[in-house]
Amino acid sequence: MVSVVSISVYQAARQRFQQKVVFITGAAHGMGRAHALAFAREGARLVICDACRQYESVPYPLATPEELAALAGEIEGMGNAVIAAQCDVTDLAAMQALAERARQELGPIDIVIANAGIYSFAPSWEMSEQQWDETLNVDLKGVWITCKVSIPHMLPRKSGKIICISSTAGVKGVHSLSHYVAAKHGVLGLVKTLAIELAPYNINVNAICPTSVDTDMCKNQAIYDAFAGGPGQLATYEHMLELTNQINLFPDRDLLPPQAISEVVLWLASDEARHLTGSAIPVDAGYLTR
């Protein structure tokens, strides 16, 4: 029989984020969606934003307004407060307005997950200026803007958690992804600097570097070809899985489930990770060891 004590310990463990205000970008789809649901299950109040637009150069589907609305409905159905906004992380004024709306309707932001990201593919010398600018804007400037609008909520209370989603591409080079690799390396530099600036305010700033994860970002012909050595390889999904399992140390993990990243996001946002700041946590099945 399960004892009353063990039930209450379990419930306490499940309520790590009761009433915390959690701001997640790129939340309508993929990993952001998994993070939002994971925080909701633990009692958080959520501010979810997504641009819900398709970039011409991005060869896989990004989120739609319907997905954003459906996620908000799911969170409300779980009994949690939620603000869902179609908002572009590269638009400073819109992001400032959203953060202010969050403060008024839910209270100041406690935890921010800078998750929105895109990529497109081309060898560096064939990449268009538009591809470069779009990816750098969303994946690096967007992370800075997300932090910039959230930090003023944290400073006066000397409390806050900032988690920025980088990538194993934040540490290694990847064929046909020079813009993405540059942006994700940049995110790690931003995280280290924010950690220095914000430690006196008791604010933790960390990054996560996932290996390949099972989202639309990793399920398209262009990424299969990039894994195989560049455009025109006509690689298959199975081929990409085989290569993924070769570069990861665990040979049988395939693409990681988005929830595997959520578990680390929630841990970093919890009190258990209070002594970590400025770090880049690989959730990489061992990929970065070689």
Ligand X SMILES: NC(=O)c1ccc[n+]([C@@H]2O[C@H](COP(=O)([O-])OP(=O)(O)OC[C@H]3O[C@@H](n4cnc5c(N)ncnc54)[C@H](O)[C@@H]3O)[C@@H](O)[C@H]2O)c1
Query: Interior CA angle at 30 toward 287 and 64, to 5°?
Result: 150
Site size toward ligand X (CB under 6 A) is 30
Our finding on whether 154 is near ligand X (CB under 6 A) is no
Report the distance separating Cα 249 and Cα 111, nearest Å: 32
Candidate residues 99, 138, 226, 269; the one interacting with ligand X per rule CB under 6 A = 138
Report the distance separating Cα 66 and Cα 32, nearest Å: 15
For the bound state, the minimum distance from the C-beta of residue 174 to ligand X, rounded and expressed in Å, comes to: 10
Candidate residues 212, 244, 248, 262; the one interacting with ligand X per rule CB under 6 A = 212
Our finding on whether 284 is near ligand X (CB under 6 A) is no
For the bound state, the minimum distance from the C-beta of residue 213 to ligand X, rounded and expressed in Å, comes to: 4
Helices 221-228 and 237-247 pack at an angle, to 10 degrees, of 50
Q: Is 180 a catalytic residue?
A: yes
Candidate residues 42, 88, 110, 225; the one interacting with ligand X per rule CB under 6 A = 88
For the bound state, the minimum distance from the C-beta of residue 71 to ligand X, rounded and expressed in Å, comes to: 10
Candidate residues 35, 117, 146, 235; the one interacting with ligand X per rule CB under 6 A = 117
Report the distance separating Cα 89 and Cα 23, nearest Å: 12
Spell 269-289 as b/e; 16+ CB within 10 A means b.
beeebeeebbbbbbbbbebbe
Positive or negative torsion for Cα 277, 269, 194, 130: positive
What DSSP character marks residue 275? T
Our finding on whether 167 is near ligand X (CB under 6 A) is yes
Report the distance separating Cα 260 and Cα 45, nearest Å: 21
Catalytically annotated residue among 119, 180, 224, 287: 180
Report the distance separating Cα 71 and Cα 261, nearest Å: 18
Candidate residues 37, 116, 149, 285; the one interacting with ligand X per rule CB under 6 A = 116
Candidate residues 24, 40, 46, 62; the one interacting with ligand X per rule CB under 6 A = 62
Spell 40-75 as b/e; 16+ CB within 10 A means b.
bbbbbbbbbbbbbeebebbebebbbeebbeebbeeb
Our finding on whether 285 is near ligand X (CB under 6 A) is no
Our finding on whether 222 is near ligand X (CB under 6 A) is no
Our finding on whether 186 is near ligand X (CB under 6 A) is no
Pick 26 or 160: Cβ nearer ligand X: 26
Site for ligand X in 35-54 (CB under 6 A): 50-52
Our finding on whether 30 is near ligand X (CB under 6 A) is yes
Our finding on whether 90 is near ligand X (CB under 6 A) is yes
Report the distance separating Cα 273 and Cα 141, nearest Å: 26
Candidate residues 32, 160, 186, 282; the one interacting with ligand X per rule CB under 6 A = 32
In which order are the strands placed within the sheet that holds 21-25?
82-86, 45-50, 21-25, 111-114, 160-165, 203-210, 280-283
Residues annotated as catalytic (active site), given as ranges: 180
- Interacting residues toward ligand X by CB under 6 A: 25-26, 28-32, 50-52, 62-63, 88-90, 115-118, 138, 142, 165, 167, 210, 212-213, 215-218
